[in-house]
Amino acid sequence: MSFRRWLSIAVVFGIGLFGLFGAAEAATATGRTMGVGLAVACVLAGFIVLKQHFDGAPDNRFLSVMPQQPANALRLLVILGILALAGLFGATSSDPYLYWAGLTLTAVSIILGFRAIRAYFDGRERSIDRHVE
């Protein structure tokens, strides 16, 4: 396994530990749930990186969630919109950890949303190019 994959796993598990520490310090049950949820998501992401290694995926792809089909890009965009709204809802809490977690979730959802839009138009362009040839 390459150094890049080991570094990816270390970063993901470090973020998971941050989630567990945040859950331990949270003042509300919702904050604790978000912290544990972040830790569980990081463990799952670590297993996805291991699966990519054993599947023989190239090292330059880290947790690639961008779809190849335009219709799937639109579905992903809807899911990311719901996640962004959930993050904004979590950011209205009085718990400071939940506030920052909500803002981070919203920011990541918006960034991935722009990438999904790009994947949608790239997929449409590829399909148009195939019909022209």
Residue 87 pLDDT exceeds 80? yes
Predicted local confidence at residue 129, as pLDDT: 65
Residue 117 pLDDT exceeds 70? yes
**d(C-alpha 102, C-alpha 47), whole Å:** 24
**d(C-alpha 49, C-alpha 72), whole Å:** 22
More confident residue, 98 or 64: 98
Task: Assess contact for 101 and 22: CB atoms under 8 A.
Answer: yes
User: pTM of the full predicted structure?
Assistant: 0.60
Q: Which of 110, 5, 44 is nearest to 36 (CA)?
A: 44
**Gyration radius of the chain's alpha carbons:** 18
The domain limits of the chain are: 1-64, 65-133
Would you give the distance in Å from CA 54 to the centre of its chain?
21
Task: Assess contact for 119 and 73: CB atoms under 8 A.
Answer: yes
Q: Which of 111, 63, 64 is nearest to 87 (CA)?
A: 111
**d(C-alpha 87, C-alpha 71), whole Å:** 25
